[in-house]
Amino acid sequence: MRSNIVAVAAIAAAIGAPIAAQAQGVTVTTGAAGGGPVVIGDAEGIAIDQRPAFREYIVRERVPNYTVSERITVGSVLPEVGVTYYDVPQTFGVTPYRYTVVNGRTVLVEPRSRRIVQVVE
């Protein structure tokens, strides 16, 4: 009986090790719009040290602000029409996401799903 428990624990550890290794450097945030957990790699969003310069860039470029009735949180999906999405300049890192300003907040969005992956504060 004890050997079975030890064997099951060893198998679980072997299966879990690659998952734990992949989780390094990943942020998991729950979205309020029923989207469940949203996983974004730290390297894919705007890095913490780049955020002040990115906000200055947004102001300097006079990116228009879009107003939506929904609350803006990670995991929320933006409307299909009425919002323009912009490429993130390479000076702020290479990212597959686009950005826009909604309800006065700068957000990174996954282009295909229009799901917010980062609110740049």
How far apart CA 32 and CA 105 sit, in angstroms, is 16
**Dist. CA 112–CA 6, nearest whole Å:** 45
Q: Domain 26-120 has what CATH class?
A: alpha beta
Long-range contacts (CB closer than 8 Å, 24 or more residues apart) made by 84-90: 85/109, 85/111, 85/114, 88/46, 89/57
* Amino acid at position 16, single letter: G
pTM of the model: 0.63
pLDDT tens sequence for the chain (121 residues): 666 565 555 565 556 544 443 433 333 333 444 443 344 444 479 999 999 999 999 999 999 999 999 899 999 999 989 899 999 999 998 899 999 999 999 999 999 999 999 999 8
